[in-house]
Structure 1
Amino acid sequence: MNTEKKHKLEITKAKESKIDSVDFNNLSFGRAFTDHMFSCEFKDGKWQVGKITPYEPLTLDPSARVFHYGQAVFEGMKAFKDQDNQVWLFRPEDNFNRINKSAARLAMPEFPKDIFFEGLTELLKLDDAWIKNTKGSAMYIRPFVIATEPAISASPASEYKFMIIMSPAQAYYAGEVRVLIASEYSRATDGGVGFAKAAGNYAAQFYPTSLAHKEGYQQVIWTDSNSHEYLEEAGTMNIFFRINDTLITAPTSDRILDGITRKSVIQLAKDNNIDVEVRPIKVEELVNAAKDGSLKEIFGSGTAAVINPILGFKHKDFKHELPKQEAPYSAFFKEKLNAIQYNLADDPHQWRYKI
């Protein structure tokens, strides 16, 4: 392996690529990883020199605080390759700002912007061949930070590791999605970490979601923890409701993730003269709209699926199947977003970032 220094980075290239062992026509989401990874250590009160090395397992002390106190945050991003083989990121500065916001909430050190973008850019350049320009293909990017200090006293760590790993992805298809509206369990509470991409948020969802699976539902729409009256998020996605021709989504708070795809959908709705309301919405309002026929669509938004239509829902004893739409908003927004991401349309808000 050859090690070279580039600006603030040390780069050690893999001796050979494992790309030929990957079937790009049959990818399971988040299972295959590229040849290289980025890492940077926080020690002695400061971030050290960032490194790009061959992808390999980590060695951590069993007492590393991440295992015992859950100091771990992450992000989800994508890179896209256009027909000229140019690589683009979508709103990466939002991801950078959000991971630092998440880190601050968990008493973890924020990461420098210049090292983040340099590490990410060099990583994408090194593993460029893994990014395909076929329709629906993308590179899923996972930045994350974990507490690595070997100590089991209950306090914030003094040592951390920031990393970026990458996984090639095809067009995401979650199959038919029906949701159970939560009336007992909660995803987040006031004053908690619901707005952060903290690893523990997702672990806490697994059990109630598994109960929903047993009833034949693929995801849970979370409600407020105080009364379970207000609709908040769906699974790992933000959620939109179309009542008549108005799009409604809950406002962000310390319980709801400030989704980047969510923000983009809201802006695209405004750009295309679609009525959009960011306001609290009660379960009762949704059920009544379903009963009187004014509920047209429900869809989730997020990095992996971009837009995920929801076919039906259940709340307590009430079940409802959504009617099929000739021109669904979900398809409209997904097409608009994909066109910007793959450099097929104008980018008036400058969301694309060229590698």
Structure 2
Amino acid sequence: MIEMVIDARRKDLGGFEVGRVLPFHARRMVGPFIFLDQMGPAEFAPGSDAINVRPHPHIGLSTLSYLFEGEIMHRDNTGATQAIRPGEVNWMTAGKGVVHSERTDPLKKSQGGPMHGMQAWIALPTEAEDVDPSFHHHGEADQPAYENGGLFARLVAGEAYGARAGVPTSSPLFYVHWELAEGVRTTPPAGRGVAGGYSERALYVAKGEIEVGDRSFHEGQMIVLEPNAEPTIRAVRPSSVMVLGGEPVGPRLIWWNFVSSSQAKIDAAKADWQAGRMTLPAEDDVEFIPLPDVPSTPEPAPDTLKPDQTDPV
């Protein structure tokens, strides 16, 4: 029933910790999901720097930011400036190249407060890797939700349970937020053994503890399911769980913040960022994150993959 368990690796991003789940050396992707971070949970003191990610570039992916608590201000070079708050979705498609920043608003910095959320990267299918960059913000009304008997489920992106979210995805996928009261039982979207099911699926415990079959899993663990498994999930205690997956888009290279089916495209993006050919956001153009001073080399075969040489922003 369970193919693999991945423990989040805690990383300090300059005063703010994340739990990095994907990519993992033994499992680079789940469906098109190639990157997954749990942001926090954290409690920022009044006047602290909080979230302060300077402008940086992406290619070949869509980013999906989703918060349980707190607020982040997004700015990018498509002209978008948008705060994201709990229950909302910021969906940015990099395509052939985008630059964005993520920061805490100065007023929020002065007040302090909690921060807890998820950031995912979704690799674009080959035919969409070179689309023009775009940004979409979606409120709760664009995300179908269900609540009954201690279960709250929100379809953040894609299709599942007969519903479709408003986010403009480019390949078959699903991303669901569960809030489970103690003792609640539920099931993930169907696997590939069921008509309309997905080839790859995983559960990430953001808070609490759940049982999958006769095994229990706690906060910070991803459970990758076997393709044909149809498990019942039970909450051992109140839990927040992200359920995700979809269909693979093909092998992908990842170097720093660049994702592509082509090493040549990654090398071109590196050169463009190094030379200043990628414009900064108009409202955040004073500073930026420089290109890491690490050589780019093709990744080895999947069964011998090593951890990334550079940490994504």
TM-score (norm 2): 0.27
TM-score (norm 1): 0.24
Structure in which a larger fraction of residues adopt helix: 1
Higher relative contact order (CA 8 A, sep 6+): 2
